[in-house]
Amino acid sequence: MKLFLCSHFSQVGNLIKEEIENKKVVFIPTASINEGYTGYVGSARKLFKKMGANLTEIDISKEDFKTIEAVFEETDVIYFTGGNSFFLIDQLRKTGVDKLLKKELKKGKLMIGESAGSVICAPSISYIEIMDEKPEDYSQIDDNGLNLIDFYVLPHYLTSPFKKITATILKKFSDLKIYPINNHQAIMVNGKESKIIEK
């Protein structure tokens, strides 16, 4: 399994430029669609295009499963923007795209998760609730993540405006295997190996 997990893709995307150049990328902005600020979506889109990626944008909360499946099968890279982790996991599990994603990752495709997109890879996402509010229409009976990794990504660590809140999360969940990363760091996961890389 190949994962690239980060806080801010436009800051660190160049670290995996060769994985993206001239590749088909499915761009999923679902986590951000109900958020007030979405500047990171535009800056990620711009970087992908600059790197020569062939982008197909798809919102899994609005598209039918067959269309999503066809796009996933055709793509080389699956990218999730930041936004609300609970909204994103809810949509993934509700639509069955969580299972589809795992199937495609088993084929060796690269998944890029930015902020919320990296949080959902953990065994559970309840640790992030202090930072991400649960949507009123959250339909899951638990906070299970995708369980792609055996640790918990804490994005935007000590970065404004999340300085205080990320320090609180790290302290409160000291029993968890948390990997805090700032906006200039990313976690590369290759099979069972994971390492933090920096810009």
The catalytic residue positions are 115, 156
Q: Using CA of residue 112, residue 162, residue 184, residue 34, what is the dihedral sign?
A: positive
Structure tokens at 140: 């899951």
> Is 7:158 a contact under the CB 8 Å cutoff?
no
Give the up-direction half-sphere exposure of residue 46: CA atoms within 13 A in the CB hemisphere.
7
> Is 120:92 a contact under the CB 8 Å cutoff?
yes
Q: What residue type is 64 in one-letter code?
A: D
DSSP, collapsed to helix, strand or coil, labels residue 21 as coil
> Is 114:79 a contact under the CB 8 Å cutoff?
yes
